[in-house]
Structure 1
Amino acid sequence: MIERILIADDHSIVRVGLSIMVKKLRPESLIEEAVDFKNVLDLVKKNSYDLIVLDINMPNGSFQQTFEFIKIKQPDTKVLVFSSQEESVYAIRYLKMGADGFLHKMADEDTVRRALEKMFRRGSYVSENIKDTLVSNSIRSRDKTTRNPLTTLSTREMEIAEKLIRGESLKDISTELNLHSSTASTYKARIFKKLEVKNIPELIDVFRFYEGLIN
């Protein structure tokens, strides 16, 4: 049976590079590409995939809504999250959401190849660093003083916090995520309360500190 693979990223050079690597590992596979979240949704509605390599930050939609749609529409499809976000902060979050693997965009060629091979063979992939983090978090789970406050944010709250950090207004966030303006404001208030910050500069400081703290 020919494997069908979807590579979703808004940068053409990334899609081309991944396609070349996939073809080396699976010469007979059928590879398709998506340039944004809407494109992903349209293709998933029409076709079934064995593996989807999914970027986190793309236009025309949100990662959470797209990911949830994939898992509902095609529960057997394996999803490898491909992101430039800090692995130690975000990888476990996406794995808990139901992703089958997390690969950092700065990974070298050998690491990318190993990740793809494991996705094909086992249907899952996590780096050694994340395995160590999972063990460490398990050991420290009862010690509240070591808890990373970013883990208290829901996936939607984390998504909105990232957009706030990037300088996006609540109006833009509401439009992009298809939220009512009051809902977006409520999310912002929850984020500030959970992280005990009063403004965007303090929010940025919290993210900068904890992303650098956990390795």
Structure 2
Amino acid sequence: MSNGYKRKVIIVDDHPMMRKGLAQTLDNELEFDVVAQFDRAEEAIQKFEELSPDLMIVDISLPGMSGLELVKHLTARDEEVKILVVSRHDETLYAERVIRAGAKGYVMKLEAGEVLVKALRKIMKGGIYVSSEVSEKLLMGMARGQKDMNESPIDQLSDRELEVFELTGKGNSTREIAEKLHLSIKTVESYRARIKTKLNLENATELMVHAVKWAESEDADL
């Protein structure tokens, strides 16, 4: 930037190569300074006040606390923090969720580096960055005052239900999900019951099969 001030950036992603790629992209731009990289949300929370970042780049799927929960946690502590979610997950499913949670933008990991920089610059100017397709979907939803009638059943899941659904699809047991999300086993079972109802699934076996298929389709986009 012309005044020589660099925007301090923290990257939170559990894939070392992804963190390295994001950092290199930003290091090539004069206005950004990557001051820290973390692979867990909990580490970012611990260092947040000390580092006082201008920007944060956050992945959704993290060990322990999810990126979505991290966004909610940080924006509750500091309304001014600007967060861009960069994830491999389907933007049409997650972009609206992260914006509602307090993030200022969403970029797919498959996008080129210049898209990342463009998104960060727009966010720093006070804007919100999503793709034109998602922007149109969000505006249509606002205009109707209702959820899109054509939404997929997965869209009906709450943020926490979606986390439980994804972890189920990755082969985690109820106890493992409870430990990862810091919930009781009874609470996880309650979420699973709600998921079955919303997705019109008869039993735990159908839930597992459905979740595994969905998780595999998500991974196929990597």
Give the alignment's TM-score, normalised by structure 1. Answer: 0.85
- What SS is found at the alignment partner of 2:28? helix
Residue 162 of structure 1: how far off its partner (Å):
1.1
Q: Is the 8 A contact 1:95 1:101 kept in 2?
A: yes
Match of 2:210 in 1: 202
Correspondence 1:131-170 to 2 at 5 A: 131-138=135-142, 146-170=150-174
* Shift, 1:68, TM fit: 2.1
Q: Which amino acid aligns with 1:109?
A: G
SS of corresponding position for 2:92: helix
Aligned-partner Cα distance in 2 for 1:15–1:143: 35
Residues 141 and 148 in structure 2, CA contact (< 8 A), matched pair in contact too: no
Amino acid at match of 2:81: T
* CA contact 1:55–1:81 (8 Å) conserved in 2: yes
What's the counterpart of residue 28 of structure 2?
24
In the alignment, structure 1 segments of 5+ residues that lack a partner are: none
* Equivalent residues, number: 210
Describe the shift of the 1:15–1:143 C-alpha distance in structure 2 as closer, same or farther (beyond 3 A).
Answer: closer
RMSD: 2.6
Match status 1:103 vs 2:107 = yes
Deviations 1:74-103 (A, max 9, x none): 221101111100111111121122211011
Give the Cα separation in 2 of the matches to 1:152 and 1:17. Answer: 34
Query: Which one of the candidate residues 47, 51, 56 is aligned to 1:52?
Result: 56
> Matches of 1:70 and 1:204 in 2, distance apart?
31
Please give the secondary structure, in 2, of the residue aligned with 1:146: coil
Tell whether the 8 Å contact from 1:55 to 1:82 is kept in structure 2 after alignment. yes
* Sequence identity (%): 26
2:44 to 9, 33, 40: 40
The 2-side partners of 1:155 and 1:42 are apart by 23
Segments of 5+ residues of structure 2 without an aligned counterpart are none
CA contact (8 A) 1:78 1:123 kept: no
Specify the alignment match of 2:120 in structure 1.
116
2-side partners of 1:118 and 1:24: how far apart?
18
User: Following TM superposition, by how much is the alpha carbon of 1:176 offset from its aligned partner in structure 2, in angstroms?
Assistant: 0.5
| In structure 2, distance between residues paired with 1:80 and 1:30 | 14
- How many Å separate the matches in 1 of 2:127 and 2:142? 24
- How far does the alpha carbon of each residue in 1:144-189 deviate from its partner, in whole angstroms, 9 at most, with x for none? 7524322321111111111111221111100011111011100000
Q: Which moved more, 1:143-152 or 1:118-127?
A: 143-152
Output the CA distance in 2 between the equivalents of 1:62 and 1:20. Answer: 24
AA aligned opposite 2:86: F
Superposed counterparts of 1:167-178, under 5 Å: 167-178=171-182
CA distance in 1, matches of 2:34, 2:147: 48
SS at match of 1:131: helix
Letter matched to residue 7 of structure 1: I
SS in 1 for 2:35: strand
